[in-house]
Amino acid sequence: MKPVFFVVALACCAAAQPVTVAVERDGSLLTRKDLTLDQAAGVLRWKKKEYPLSGFYLVESENGALLWTPDYGARVRGYEFLARAEIFKRSRKLFKKAIRYKAQKLARTLFEIAQDHGLGGRDVEKARKNLLRLETRPGRRSPKADAIAEQTKALAQIHPDLFFVRTKLELKVSRANGLRMLRDTLRMAPNHAGALAKLTSFAPKNFALGNARVWLDWHLDVEVLGAKLATRDSFNMRQALKHWRKDLNAIESGVVLVITPVTDSRILGRTLGCCRMTTDLLAELFGVYPVRRKKVDPLRIFLFENREEYVRESGGNRPAKDNAFLEWSAGHYSPGEGISRLYWVTNRNAESRIIGTAVHELTHHWLADANPAYNRAEGSRSARCPGFWIIEGFAEFMEEGNYNLDQGTWSLFDRRADSLDTIVALTGSSRTRSSPLIDWKTLYGGTSLTFWALDKKMDISVRRRWKLGADIVSKTQLWYVQSAATCQYLYHAEDGKYRRALLDYVVHHYTGKAKLMPIQKAFGMSPEALGKRVEEFARKVRAGWRPKVTPARAARAGSSAQEGANQKEGNAGK
C-alpha cells in the first residue's frame, strides 16, 4: 500500500505547481502566497478559491519560468503588463523622491509616467497637489536629484530587459519562440547589448542576404514556411535576370517558385504563406483522385515590388487597351507563359483583396500545371469546349473563401460571398423576366468564344447587402458571379451532395472532356433547373442558412502557422 500511496502523492505534487505571479486579462496581477497551478483542471488555486486559467494571459514561477500561456500573443501581452506594473511601482517611488529633492521637471516627468502606467483615482489628485505645490513654491534642487534622473532614464529599459530575461529562458525550451521573443526585444531596444550578443550566437556567419538582423527576419518570416533560397543558375532565373532585372532572388516553397527583387521578409512570408495555403488546399480537394502527374514543375510566381512595376512588367508587347485590367488588378495568371504575376502591400486594409486575387490566380495556375488528377498532356484543355464557366467560376469560388494567414486556417464558406449576394440582389424574391442575369443555359453551354462576346459595358446596377452604395457591373462580370455562385451551390448545398461531381467537372474540363459531360449528365438536372437551385441557394444563405459542418482547415497547433512548429520543437526539447 505504501508504494501506491507514494505514487499518488507524487502525482498530486506534480499536478500542483507553485506560482509566483499570474497576469489577468484585465492587466492586473494575481500574487498570493501558496498560489498553485493545476493545469489538468485548468485552474489556479489559492486556499479554497479557484481561478479559471482562461482568465489569464500567463502564469510564472519564481525564477521567471513560464508555466502557462494560451499562445505567443498572450505571452507578449502578459510580459507587457508585468513591465507596466514594475514601471508604475518604480516611477511612483521616484516621484516621491523628486518632490522631496525639489526636482520640478523630473517630478513632472515621473508623474506623467506613473499616470501612463496605472496611477489613478485619489492617488492622482494627491500626486498632482504635491506637484503643484512644488511648482508654485520651488526650492533649491538637491544634488541627490541627479541619481533620481539616472534612475528615471532606466525606466525605459525595464520592458526590454524583462523581455530579454524571459527570452533566454524560452530559448532553452523552444528555439523558434525564443527567436521570436529575441526579435521583439530588439524592436523595443535596437541596441540592447544582451539581445545583440545572443543574436550573434544564433545567426549564421555568412548569411547571403545581409546581416544577423536580416537573417532573423528571414528565418522567422520565410524559412518557417519551409522556404529556401533557390539557385540563380536555373533556366527560370536566367530568363528572369535577362528580361526583368539583375537583383532577383529565387525562393522555393513546396511546388511554388517565387522570383522577386523584394527583400522585405514579411512580404515574402505572407506571399509564400498564401501560395502554400492555396496549393495545400487544392491538393486536399483533388487528393481523392489517383495520381497521374508524377512530376510537377515549380509554379513560377513573379512577385513585384509595387503596383507600378507590376503594371509595367506585365504588359509585354500587347496594346495598351488590352492591358487596362492591369491598372486595377493585384495579380494575374498567364497560361501561355505558365507564370503568375503578383504584388503585395504592407497595408492590412488592402491585404484581404490581394489575398483573394492571389488565391484566384494561383487556382488557375495550379489546376493548369500541377493538379495530380491529370498529367501534362491531358491538361491541355480545349477552351472552345462547352463548360468554360468552370474556369473562372472555380477560381472565383476559391477567392471567396476566408483565409487567415496568421493562423494558417481556411474556410470555403462565407455567408457574405459576393457571388451569392449579387445573385440575390439581381433576382429579388424570385426570378423575373427583367433580370439582367445571363441565361443559365447560355452560361453552362458557353465556350470561351461565348465569354469574350459578352457585353463589357458597365450598365447594370447592383445593391448588395454587405456593401454600402451601388456597384455598376457588366455582363462579363456577371459571368464570374453566376459561375462562382454555381460552384458555391454545388460545393456546399445538401451536405455536399454534388461536391465530388463539381470536382469531376473541373477535371473533365481541364482534360478537354467537358463536351462529354453536359450539365444534365454531370449533375442530374437541366441547366435551367441548376440555375434555379443556385438562385434559391443564394436566398437561403441570405436568410441564414449555414453548412452543418463548415469545410475548414483545422488550425495548426498554437495560434499561428509558426506556433505549430514551436509546439513540436518544445515537445522535442522536453
Query: Residue 560 carries which side chain, given as an amino acid letter?
Result: S
Assess whether pLDDT exceeds 50 at residue 546.
yes
pLDDT of residue 470: 78
Strand 21-24 relative to strand 56-60, pairing:
antiparallel
Structurally, what CATH architecture does the domain formed by 237-377 represent?
A: 3-Layer(aba) Sandwich (3.40)
The whole-number pLDDT of residue 431 equals 47
Least confident span in 51-65, 366-380, 532-546: 366-380
For residues 178, 183, 185, 186, the Cα torsion angle rounded to the nearest 10 degrees is 150
Residue 507 CA to residue 15 CA, distance in Å, equals 55
The sign one gets for the Cα dihedral 17, 20, 22, 23 is negative
Would you state the pLDDT for residue 494?
A: 93
Q: Which spans in 410-455 are helix H?
A: 418-427, 440-445, 448-452
Residue environment code for 238-259, b if the CB has 16+ CB neighbours within 10 A, otherwise e: eebeeebeeebbbbbbbbbbbb
The answer, yes or no, to whether residue 379 has pLDDT greater than 60, is no
Which pLDDT belongs to residue 386? 85
- Residue 569's pLDDT band, with cuts at 50, 70 and 90, is very low
Q: Helix or strand or coil: residue 402?
A: strand
Mean pLDDT taken over the chain: 86
Q: Distance of alpha carbon 149 from its chain centroid, rounded?
A: 44
Model pTM? 0.79
* pLDDT for the residue 61: 93
Greater confidence (462 vs 3) lies with 462
pLDDT at 504 over 60: yes
Q: Residue 487: is its pLDDT beyond 60?
A: yes
**The residue type at 498:** Y
Q: Which residues, in sequence order, are CB contacts of 65 under 8 Å at separation 6+? A: 169
Amino acid 511: pLDDT: 86
Q: Residue 566: pLDDT band by 50, 70, 90 thresholds?
A: very low
Which residues, 6+ apart, have CB-to-CB distance to 11 below 8 Å? none
Question: Taking each helix axis from N to C terminus, what angle separates 348-369 and 499-510, rounded to the nearest 10 degrees?
Answer: 60
DSSP per position, 51-103: EEGGGEEEEE-TTS-EEE-SSHHHHHHHHHHHHHHHHHHHHHHHHHHHHHTT-
**Domain parsing of the chain, residue ranges:** 1-69, 71-202, 237-377, 381-560
Distance between CA atoms of residues 46 and 50, nearest Å: 7
What is the mean pLDDT of the segment spanning 330-350?
A: 86
pLDDT tops 50 at residue 565:
no
Distance CA 244, CA 237 (A): 10
pLDDT tens-digit map of 90-109: 999 999 999 999 999 999 99
Q: 148 CB contacts (<8 Å, ≥6 apart)?
A: 94, 97, 98, 101, 103, 106
Whole-number pLDDT of residue 561: 39
**What 3-state class would DSSP assign to 331?**
strand
Q: Are strands 43-46 and 49-52 parallel, antiparallel or unpaired?
A: antiparallel
Q: Provide the pLDDT for residue 139.
A: 86
Question: What is the predicted pLDDT for the residue at 375?
Answer: 79
Can you give the length of the chain in residues?
574
Asked if residues 512 and 381 have their Cβ atoms less than 8 Å apart, the reply is yes
Tens of pLDDT along 47-70?
A: 999 999 999 999 999 888 999 999
CA distance 341 to 521: 37
Element (H, E) at 22: strand 21-24
Give residue 464's pLDDT: 79
Pair 298, 255: CB distance under 8 Å: yes
pLDDT confidence band for 382 (50 / 70 / 90): low
Give the tens place of pLDDT for each residue, 237-271.
888 999 899 999 999 998 999 999 999 999 999 99
User: Is beta strand 228-229 parallel, antiparallel or unpaired with respect to 249-253?
Assistant: antiparallel
| pLDDT of residue 540 exceeding 90 | yes
Backbone torsions φ then ψ of 567, nearest 5 degrees: -60, -50
Q: How confident is the model at residue 323 (pLDDT cuts 50, 70, 90)?
A: very low
Helix axes of 389-399 and 265-285: crossing angle, nearest 10 degrees:
120
**pLDDT confidence tier of residue 2, bands split at 50, 70 and 90:** very low
Mean pLDDT (whole number) for 470-478:
87
Residue 377 confidence (pLDDT): 59
* Predicted pLDDT of residue 513: 77
Residue 266 · residue 217 · CB < 8 Å? yes
**pLDDT tens-digit profile of 177-205?**
999 999 999 999 999 999 999 999 999 98
Give the Cβ contact number of residue 201 at 10 Å. Answer: 8
| pLDDT for residue 17 is more than 60 | yes
Percent of the chain topping pLDDT 70: 87
Residue range 291-299: mean pLDDT, rounded? 88
Nearest-Å Rg of the Cα atoms of the chain is 30
Q: Is the pLDDT of residue 232 over 90?
A: no
